[in-house]
Amino acid sequence: MDTLLFSLLNGVIYGLLLFMVSAGLTLVFGMMGVLNFAHASFYMLGAYFAYTLQGLLGFGLAVVVATLLAGGVGAVVERFFLRRVHHHGHAHELLLTFGLSFIVAETIKLLFGNFPVNYQVPALLDGPAFVIVVGGTWGAVISMPERITSGSRRVSSHAPPCARQRPMRGGPASGCACGGTTRRRG
């Protein structure tokens, strides 16, 4: 049952990622009339800008400055590159933005290496945003941890007893009456 649930959730997540890519292409093409295949590269630039600036500015300010920097790079690309090829048609825009995405990706690999970087999020944002408990007489319960609103690591007291515990990361534990975990962490 767990395998089916996780497979369904992974399928939904993958479908939503594909939707985001197609929606991004559609929105940019619909609003600007430009086939921009490099929009994901600008997101990547923003992430690496935030990673680089986090040590100097802190997490929150680094995210804001990185967003402005990535937007600035996008504005420069639009002003000096895309405007020059726009009158040649969509094929030239496609080739330009596709090539630009390769240039950005290879520049990031050159500067940061071809391996994941150790990006630390603040403790408040570390952990699940929602806890899903399936089974027993409760059915499926989705609740938001109180730590997001009150700083606690526990889930709302209106959830079943097993949902009021922090989720296990190491796999399933022994089940309680409603099908959730019975061990507490922390």
pLDDT digits (tens, 9 = 90+) for 93-121: 888 888 999 999 999 999 988 888 887 77
**Residue 134 — pLDDT band, cuts 50, 70, 90?**
low
Report the SS3 class of residue 139: strand
Tell me the pLDDT of the chain averaged across its residues.
75
Q: Tens of pLDDT along 167-176?
A: 444 444 444 4
Evaluate if pTM is beyond 0.75.
no
Report the SS3 class of residue 38: coil
**Residue 180 — pLDDT band, cuts 50, 70, 90?**
very low
Q: Tens of pLDDT along 46-68?
A: 999 999 998 899 888 999 999 99
**Residue 155 — pLDDT band, cuts 50, 70, 90?**
very low
Question: DSSP character for 122?
Answer: P
DSSP count for the chain of H helices, then E strands: 6, 2
**Residue 147 — pLDDT band, cuts 50, 70, 90?**
low
Q: Which residues contact 61 (CB under 8 A, 6 or more apart)?
A: 53
Name, of 13-27, 33-47, 55-69, 161-175, the range with top average pLDDT.
Answer: 55-69
User: What pLDDT does 179 receive?
Assistant: 47
User: What pLDDT does 140 receive?
Assistant: 57
- The backbone torsions φ and ψ at residue 122, rounded to the nearest 5 degrees and listed phi first, read -60, 155
Each domain of the chain, given as residue ranges in start order, spans 34-112, 123-186
**Residue 133 — pLDDT band, cuts 50, 70, 90?**
low
